Amino acid sequence: MSSCSRTRSEYRRVRTAALLLTLLAVALPGAAATAAPVPLPVTAVLVGGAETALVVDLSASTRPGRRSVSVTRDGIPQRADLVPVMADGLAVALVVDTSAAGAAALPAWLSAAARFILEAPPTTAAVVIADSAPAAVAVGPRRGPTDVVRGLTPVRAHGDRDTAAALRLAVRQFPATAVGRRVVILYTTGADAGGERAGTLAARFRASGTILVVVGTAAGGPYWADVAAATGGFFAPAGDPVVVRALDQVKTTLGGRHLVRFPTPPTLPSRVSVRIDTGDLSLTGDAIVAVTPAPAARTATTDRRWIWAVAALAAAGLAAAVVVVAVVLRGRRRTRPSRADPPSPWVVRGSAAVPGTVARGRAEVPETSRATPDGARWFP
């Protein structure tokens, strides 16, 4: 009997422990998740001088609340903070395709820009840039949605598309903004930036610490998707004429983007390890921090080198031409008779002439003989 009693009591203890574990799993679902970290999606690394910002995607976490971050470099903890992209301190440049070719989509783009600024944090600084040649600021800079929405009303389509210039103008706005806190949203029907390579454009955005989001037609190919993804942004395909799904994607996807900010390592490139705890997830990942050279500076240097090369070739060609002309003129001087010397009497108008004169068939005797004492004549 004692043996049966011990068995039943052990069974009850096991069943009680299992029940308690089940209750803990239901009450604390994050405990199991925290025990098994998941990969952290790092979409871009933006280096801005003394500060670096990793653009990470935390959309997998569904639990609101406080989130913590830790960054280590060579095993040494670094000072770091975690902020949403869509938070106070955001600066936005809205680039709208206002070309005549994209006139049919302009009302949808203006509506999309107005919706975004209305849903952005109230303190967001914004500017609207018209993508028509020449690209120019159409509205702003403004702080708060009211003036921006009001300034969108008179915008009209005209001229040719000038997307590359419009994007260069966009990254120059709000120069004092911290790295990763400036976002450019492009609304366009164009397939690319007008001939500029995707890698060059993406490098310019990364070097300026700017995130690019593109809302455009799906028929544009991979160009915009490649450029935007390299900056920590994304491409939202828009239908024709319905663009609501694209606008919803901008809101949800950009809302899941966060910035992990920490001091730029003194030696680059450098590897850092990141861990983020969201309450329901624990995400870990590594990132390489490296300096992104500014394409604009490289392009300007390359252009100056080409100018100097062309100038050098032109100078060399001119010098060669001068030498050839000098040689030709010198040769002509050698073959041309001197004006101080009279023409040769041996050739006159193609006929030969005999020195001296001939008169009446008798040759003239030269008067070079001398007389001797006996009357005879001799010639030297």
DSSP H helices in 28-155: 29-35, 106-119, 145-152
* Residue in 223, 205, 218 with CA at minimum distance from that of residue 246: 218
Q: What confidence tens digit (pLDDT) does each residue in 191-204 have?
A: 999 989 999 999 99
Of residues 327 and 73, more confidently modeled: 73
Q: Once rounded to an integer, what is the mean pLDDT over residues 161-169?
A: 97
**Coil, strand or helix at 301:** helix
pTM exceeds 0.85 for this model: no
Most confident of 80-89, 289-298, 319-328: 80-89
**Coil, strand or helix at 98:** coil
Q: Once rounded to an integer, what is the mean pLDDT over residues 214-236?
A: 92
The number of helix segments (H) and strand segments (E) in the chain equals 9, 21
Cα–Cα distance for residue pair 12/286, rounded to 1 Å:
47
Any bridge partners for residue 289, and if so which?
270
Locate 151 and state its tokens: 């300034």
Pair type for strands 91-96 and 182-188: parallel
CB 368 within 8 A of CB 380: yes
Q: What confidence tens digit (pLDDT) does each residue in 262-314 have?
A: 999 999 999 999 999 998 999 999 999 998 776 644 443 334 443 444 345 55
Q: Does domain 91-291 have CATH number 3.30.70.580?
A: no
pLDDT at 297: 43
Residues contacting residue 200 through CB under 8 Å, at least 6 positions apart: 295
CB 274 within 8 A of CB 71: yes
Domain spans in the chain, listed from the N-terminal domain onward: 91-291, 294-331
Locate 128 and state its tokens: 């609207």
* Residue in 361, 356, 334 with CA at minimum distance from that of residue 346: 356
pLDDT at 43: 96
Instruction: Tell me which of 19-33, 119-133, 158-172, 256-270 is least confident.
Output: 19-33
Of residues 31 and 240, more confidently modeled: 240
- Average pLDDT of the chain is 79
Residues contacting residue 301 through CB under 8 Å, at least 6 positions apart: none
Q: End-to-end CA distance of the chain: give it in Å, rounded.
A: 176
Cα–Cα distance for residue pair 193/201, rounded to 1 Å:
8
Q: Once rounded to an integer, what is the mean pLDDT over residues 197-224?
A: 93
What is the share, in percent, of the chain residues with pLDDT greater than 70? 67
Q: Residue 165's Cα: distance from chain center in Å?
A: 11
